[in-house]
Amino acid sequence: MSAADTEFLRLLEKDIDYFERAIERFEELIPRVSAPIQDQWRLQATVRRNFAMELEILLDKAEASAAPRRNKRGQNDGDTKHSDSAPY
């Protein structure tokens, strides 16, 4: 794994932690506002929680693609193909 890959994964983990803490703080404020605003804020919290989950999925995929693949004998097979069909 290159230094750039390591740095990307570190920053992605930091972003996930930030969003999770922000959601928690945001949800703590919900009871302090009026009912119509609470509904809107709950919806926003749900959207932010979904975004944090998407970042976690991205992190899992990034870690999996950055790890060297092993063949049956436990050796790196040199396969550098991406695991999904998205164009790169």
Single-letter residue type at 22 = A
Q: Could you state, in order of their start, the residue ranges of all structural domains in the chain?
A: 3-66
* Residue 24: CA count within 13 A, CB half-sphere: 6
Task: Compute the CA torsion angle 87, 50, 17, 2 (nearest 10 deg).
Answer: -10
Tokens 């009026």 label which residue?
Answer: 34
24-79 per-position pLDDT tens digit: 888 888 888 888 888 888 898 889 889 888 988 988 888 888 776 655 555 555 55
Q: Report which of 71, 64, 69 is spatially closest to residue 80, judged by C-alpha positions.
A: 69
Which pTM does this prediction carry?
A: 0.57
Residue count of the chain: 88
Alpha carbon separation from 39 to 15, 18, 22, 50 (Å, rounded): 26, 23, 18, 17
Query: What was the pLDDT predicted at 73?
Result: 58
